[in-house]
Amino acid sequence: MQPDHQSTMKEQNSMLIGNPFPWYAQMRRESPVFYDAEQQSWMVFRYEDVKRVFADWQIFSSQIPHPPEQTDLTQSFIYTDPPKHQSLRSLVAKVFTARRVEELAPRITQITHELIDKVQGQNHIDFMHDLAIPLPVIVIAEILGVPVADRADFKHWSDGIVVSDPAALQAMADYFRHLLKQRRQHSGKDLISNLIAAHEAGETLTAPELIAFCIVLLVAGNETTTNLLGNAILCFNEYPEAFARLKRSPQLLPLAIEEVLRYRSSVQGMERFTKVETQLGGQMIPSGQMVLAWTGAANRDETQFDRPDEFVIDRDPNPHLSFGNGIHFCLGAPLARLEGKIMLSAVLERLPNLRVDPNAALEFIPSMAIHGVKSLPVLL
C-alpha cells in the first residue's frame, strides 16, 4: 500500500476519464504496481508487467469471483479460464478468422459508401453519429443475425453496459432472450442460429452463456471499433503533417491504424483476479485480488517504444497491447482492422478535407477503461 499514490490516483481519476495519458509516465516510473484502496485493486502500468498479467492466466484469472446474477456478462467466455474458455471460444472463433472476415470486405465497403453518400455535400457532420457508430453496429448485427433496424437500441444499451449500468444489461439480455426464442422457431445462416444449434447439440453452451455470447459480441463489436475510428480522426487532427502524409501515401493506412490503436487505444485497461499469491513489479499481490492492467500505459512505455508520446504514423514494428495478449487476444481484431481500413480509406478518398471543428468542445466517454469521444463535430 502506498498512501501517497492512493491520493494521486484519486485526484487523477478525473483526468483518467477522457485523458489518462499525462500521468501514465509518472505511474510507470514511480508506482508501476500499487494497491489502490478506493478501487480495491492493484494497478499495473509497465509494458512487461501488463503483458505478463494477460499471458499468465493460471495466476491472473479472468473469472469474476462471486458474479452478481445468472444472466450477465460473467457467463461469457471473455470472463472464463481454460478449459471452459477454449471450448466456448472455439464455437465462434471460425467466424472471425482473418480469411472469413476478409470475405466481408465487399459488404463492409458497400455499407461504408452508403453512409458517406448520406453526408456528402454537407459542410458539417458528427463523425461519430454519422459514420463511426453506424458502421460497426450494422456489421456485427448482420453477422449475428439481429435486426439492423433495432440498432438505436443496441447503441443505447451498449453505451450503458460500458459504464456498468445494470438496467442496460438487463434490457439487452431481455431483448436477446426474446430473439433467441423466435430464432429457435425460424433459424437462419447467421451466427445466432449456429450458436442455438450448438446449444441444442449439447455443446457445453448453457442458455445464460448463449445470451452472454450475443451481448459480448454486440458490445465488443460496437464500442471499440467506433472509438478506433473516432480516435483515428483525433490523432490526425493532432498531427496534421502525418495526416497530409497519409493522404499522399494511403498505403501507410494499416500502419497508421496500428499506431492509432497504440496511441489512443479504445480499451485502456482490463481486469484480472489473482488465483494465488504472486510477485509483480516488486510487489507481493495476495491471492483473490483484483488487478487492473493498464494497456494504455503499457502502450506508451519508453522501454518498449521510441518516442512513446508521439504519434508516429509509420511506426513499425508496433507491438501494442490494445487487443490484449495470450489466450483472450481479441477475437474481433481482424474485423476491427478491416472496418478501420475500409472506412478510413473511404474518408481519405471521398472526404479529404475532413477536419475537427475547431469550435467543438470535445466530451470524452465517462469511463476509465474505454477511451473515445461522445461526439465529434467535423467540417468537410
Q: Which residues bind ligand HEM (CB under 6 A)?
A: 54, 62, 77-78, 89, 140, 216-217, 220-221, 224-225, 228, 266-267, 270, 322-324, 328, 330-332, 335-336
The residue (of 216 and 365) whose beta carbon lies closer to ligand HEM is 216
Residue of minimal Cβ distance to ligand HEM: 332
Give, in order, the Cα–Cα distances in Å from 352 to each of 233, 248, 357, 379. Answer: 12, 11, 15, 11
The residue (of 179 and 330) whose beta carbon lies closer to ligand HEM is 330
Residue 144 sits at the vertex; the CA angle it makes with 231 and 253, to the nearest 5 degrees, is 30
286 residue type, one letter: P
Residue tagged 476509465 (cell numbers): 368
The residue (of 6 and 374) whose beta carbon lies closer to ligand HEM is 374
> Nearest approach, Cβ of 236 to ligand HEM (angstroms)?
16
> Nearest approach, Cβ of 32 to ligand HEM (angstroms)?
20
> Nearest approach, Cβ of 21 to ligand HEM (angstroms)?
16
DSSP conformation class of 300: T
Closest CA to 348 of 225, 206, 239, 251: 251
Give, in order, the Cα–Cα distances in Å from 39 to each of 35, 236, 278, 291, 296. Answer: 8, 34, 20, 10, 18
> Nearest approach, Cβ of 268 to ligand HEM (angstroms)?
9
200 residue type, one letter: E
The residue (of 8 and 74) whose beta carbon lies closer to ligand HEM is 74
> Nearest approach, Cβ of 209 to ligand HEM (angstroms)?
13
d(C-alpha 43, C-alpha 47), whole Å: 12
> Nearest approach, Cβ of 1 to ligand HEM (angstroms)?
26
DSSP assignment of 66-83 equals S-S-SSSGGGSGGG--TT
Closest CA to 368 of 53, 18, 40: 18
The residue (of 29 and 94) whose beta carbon lies closer to ligand HEM is 94
> Nearest approach, Cβ of 322 to ligand HEM (angstroms)?
5
Strand 41-44, strand 290-293: pairing: parallel
248 residue type, one letter: R
Phi, psi of 253 (to 5 degrees): -55, -45
> Nearest approach, Cβ of 99 to ligand HEM (angstroms)?
16
DSSP conformation class of 131: I
The answer to whether 190 and 145 are in contact (CB under 8 A) is yes
Closest CA to 328 of 91, 77, 150, 149: 77
The residue (of 100 and 355) whose beta carbon lies closer to ligand HEM is 100
Strand 278-280, strand 283-285: pairing: antiparallel
The residue (of 5 and 260) whose beta carbon lies closer to ligand HEM is 260
> Nearest approach, Cβ of 358 to ligand HEM (angstroms)?
27
- Cis bond upstream, residue 83 (ω within 30): yes
d(C-alpha 12, C-alpha 83), whole Å: 39
The residue (of 162 and 335) whose beta carbon lies closer to ligand HEM is 335
The residue (of 83 and 121) whose beta carbon lies closer to ligand HEM is 83
